[in-house]
Amino acid sequence: MITVLAGGVGGAKLVDGLAETIGDEELRVIVNTADDEEFFGLHVSPDIDTIVYTLAGIADREKGWGIEGDTYRCLEMLERYGLETWFKIGDMDFATHIYRTLMLRRGMRLSEVTDTIAKRLGIRHRIMPMTDDRVRTVVVTESERLSFQEYFVEKRGEVRVKSVIYEGAEEAEPCREVIPSIMDSRAVVIAPSNPILSIGPILALRGVRQALRKTKAVRVGVTPIIGGRAVKGPADRLMRDLGIEPSAASVARLYSDILDLFIIDEVDASMAGEASKYVPRCIATNTLMQTRQDRARLATYILTAINEIRESHQKY
Amino acid sequence: MITVLAGGVGGAKLVDGLAETIGDEELRVIVNTADDEEFFGLHVSPDIDTIVYTLAGIADREKGWGIEGDTYRCLEMLERYGLETWFKIGDMDFATHIYRTLMLRRGMRLSEVTDTIAKRLGIRHRIMPMTDDRVRTVVVTESERLSFQEYFVEKRGEVRVKSVIYEGAEEAEPCREVIPSIMDSRAVVIAPSNPILSIGPILALRGVRQALRKTKAVRVGVTPIIGGRAVKGPADRLMRDLGIEPSAASVARLYSDILDLFIIDEVDASMAGEASKYVPRCIATNTLMQTRQDRARLATYILTAINEIRESHQKY
């Protein structure tokens, strides 16, 4: 069993690569839900949906969110009714939110709903929200407090951030299988997701960081920063706003207590030495996942590295 | 001002004809909401929507419900998630239910939401739910109690009905403008809608029947039964189940205390005498509304009849 901690698009791509190459082994994906939000009265879980749609093979690859070939008739009509529609939801995508909202109102937990959706879409791996409780990322600027979606989608990340708060993280319980998955897996992979906005909320949950410190699993991180820039999203700008130099080495530092191996991109190969100050091993490869082949190649690279580390552990 | 009491399709067609021919005069439509139901956690008001979509010029004329050219991607996805999808909701149609549900949850009244939707779709006339309270038609058979939608859509009306109950009608308040509209209009028209399932719930509301008895408005009814058969829907079968001969005369009898004029179809012209036992005047014309021209012609016929009665009232 391999467990992955993941946010949205970057996480989804790596999880997809792992699912392709892992064979019969079980994959468990612990997904950030601190970006969940209510739109039009419906509970939207953007990161879960991106991973579910990707594993189900129905994700829109161009856009990185939503369902391939989806249409926007419902959203256009909602706009006609005067609602704000900066958050784009397609007609098929709406079904997911309608279904989730209905089931939550009927008393199902988010983890159960996620499980049902994944199974119905033919996914054999386990996708679990980090928590069934409410945790919300709040992006604090000079003048306002923004939800993640307001910051990322509405403002396009074009505001200066003073701090980031994971509201509710202290009181929230991780989902029942989160800690056991970290403890019992042979490897835990931190996907190339935003370390502050996607992985940060998962690590902020009670017991998660400690479990990552204690587990016997091989712990591998993949950089979301290549050549000082985020592959997607606002991670670089956000890190700079928070006084962190946006580099692979900075990410290694953020994960210094919870990784055995950090994978940086080949363009940053010269940074391996610096990153090794924080993480025991640091290796460089092409981490950019533009095609499905890229995903599988990176996944194979990670699985091989995991096996090598396990073997070396067994030797000594 | 002319007020219409209406159910779904038959009501919508006549209201559309009246809207076309009435000129600058205000039309107020009091609509049955006893068929409202929650589908997928969303509040659906089928009769209101049929009338709104028809007046907005976006109704699907073939089907008689929903929006012209609508697609079913959301519904197909909900089916994939394992939900029952016998109640067909198109992608654009979903927006109406999502919007309505959201606004009701925010504390708006159904009448306010209806008003906003109608205005946003460019309708200048007033469409009002019969009540903002919850009234539900229950169709009682030998073995079960069915909601209207279960009876009409799921079972296609193919069960034997023992009785019909308007649950909640005694406690419900008519919407604020319902009684004033009936009292202050120059004419009240009862549309060719199902007298038991569509008009019945409106008449069952506190004060409505009394207002219809007292008003100085010219009160005109149009038969929904032609040649012993319902133009659309299960009115004929249902009337028979309830021990009422399905005929225009029977409808006249159901409305005997609240009509000045009853319009029957020309194929039933020989029944005018019998119907006149219940309603002071009974006239026959082609009441079938297959084309938009038919709608306008029937509306003109009704408006002319109303004027004649008003003139004769003034004379004597």
Residue type for position B287: T
pLDDT at B310: 86
pLDDT at B232: 82
Q: Which two tokens stand for residue A72?
A: 């926007």
- The shortest C-alpha distance from A83 to chain B (Å) reads 8
- Can you give the length of chain A in residues? 316
Query: CA A282 → CA A131, A195, A196, A221, distances in Å?
Result: 31, 17, 21, 10
pLDDT tens digits for A57-78?
999 988 878 999 999 999 999 9
pLDDT tens digits for B55-101?
999 999 888 789 999 999 999 999 999 999 988 999 999 999 999 99
- Assess if residue A151 is contained within a domain: no
- Assess if residue A36 is contained within a domain: yes
- Assess if residue A149 is contained within a domain: no
**pTM of the complete model:** 0.93
pLDDT at B234: 87
Among all chains, which residue has been given the structure tokens 């960081």? A209
| B78 contacts A116? CB cut-off 8 A | no
Contact B298, B14 (CB under 8 A): yes
The partner residue sitting opposite B78, judged by closest CB among A75, A83, A99, is A99
| B120 contacts A81? CB cut-off 8 A | yes
pLDDT at A315: 60
Query: CA A291 → CA A17, A285, A294, A296, A302, distances in Å?
Result: 10, 16, 5, 9, 17
Residues of B with CB below 8 A from A87's CB? none
Nearest to A15, CA basis, from A151, A92, A118? A118
Q: Which two tokens stand for residue A210?
A: 């400690």
Q: Are residues B256 and B163 in the same domain?
A: no
Nearest to A97, CA basis, from A44, A26, A143, A30? A44
Mean pLDDT of B36-51: 96
Does the pLDDT of residue B199 top 90, yes or no? yes
* Residue in chain A lying closest to B114 (CA): A81
Q: Are residues B49 and B180 in the same domain?
A: yes
pLDDT tens digits for B201-231?
999 999 999 999 999 999 999 999 999 999 8
Query: CA A25 → CA A6, A303, B43, B69, B199, distances in Å?
Result: 18, 12, 44, 46, 62
In the listed set B167, B183, B208, which residue is the last one of a domain according to the structure? B167
ipTM: 0.92
> Which residues touch B138 (CB under 8 Å, ≥6 apart)?
B145, B146, B147, B164, B165, B166, B167
Q: Please, which residues 32-51 of chain A have a Cβ atom closer than 8 Å to chain B?
A: 40-42
Domain count along chain B: 2
> Which residues touch B176 (CB under 8 Å, ≥6 apart)?
B111
Q: Are residues B228 and B81 in the same domain?
A: yes
| B92 contacts A41? CB cut-off 8 A | no
- Assess if residue A11 is contained within a domain: yes
Residues of A with CB below 8 A from B77's CB? 91-92, 94-96
Q: Are residues B193 and B296 in the same domain?
A: yes
Query: What is the extent of the structural domain holding B241?
Result: 2-135+171-315
- Assess if residue A148 is contained within a domain: no
* Residue in chain B lying closest to A118 (CA): B81
pLDDT at A316: 58
- Assess if residue A248 is contained within a domain: yes
CATH number (domain holding residue B219): 3.40.50.10680
Residues of A with CB below 8 A from B82's CB? 116, 120
Q: Are residues B122 and B78 in the same domain?
A: yes
pLDDT at A314: 73
- Assess if residue A146 is contained within a domain: no
- Which segments in chain A show pLDDT lower than 70? 315-316
| B91 contacts A73? CB cut-off 8 A | yes
Phi-psi region of A3 (alpha: psi -120 to 50; beta: other; left: phi over 0): beta
- The shortest C-alpha distance from A4 to chain B (Å) reads 25
The partner residue sitting opposite B81, judged by closest CB among A40, A41, A117, is A117
* Residue in chain B lying closest to A106 (CA): B41
- The shortest C-alpha distance from A294 to chain B (Å) reads 30
B92 touches chain A (CB under 8 A): yes
| A101 contacts B78? CB cut-off 8 A | no
pLDDT at A194: 95
Q: Are residues B74 and B101 in the same domain?
A: yes
- Assess if residue A226 is contained within a domain: yes
What is the overall mean pLDDT for chain B? 95
B313: pLDDT confidence band, cut at 50, 70 and 90?
Answer: confident
The partner residue sitting opposite A40, judged by closest CB among B81, B98, B121, is B98
pLDDT tens digits for B95-111?
999 999 999 999 999 99
Among all chains, which residue has been given the structure tokens 């029944």? B271
Of residues B108 and B158, the one with the higher pLDDT is B108
Contact A210, A193 (CB under 8 A): no
In the listed set B120, B152, B167, which residue is the last one of a domain according to the structure? B167
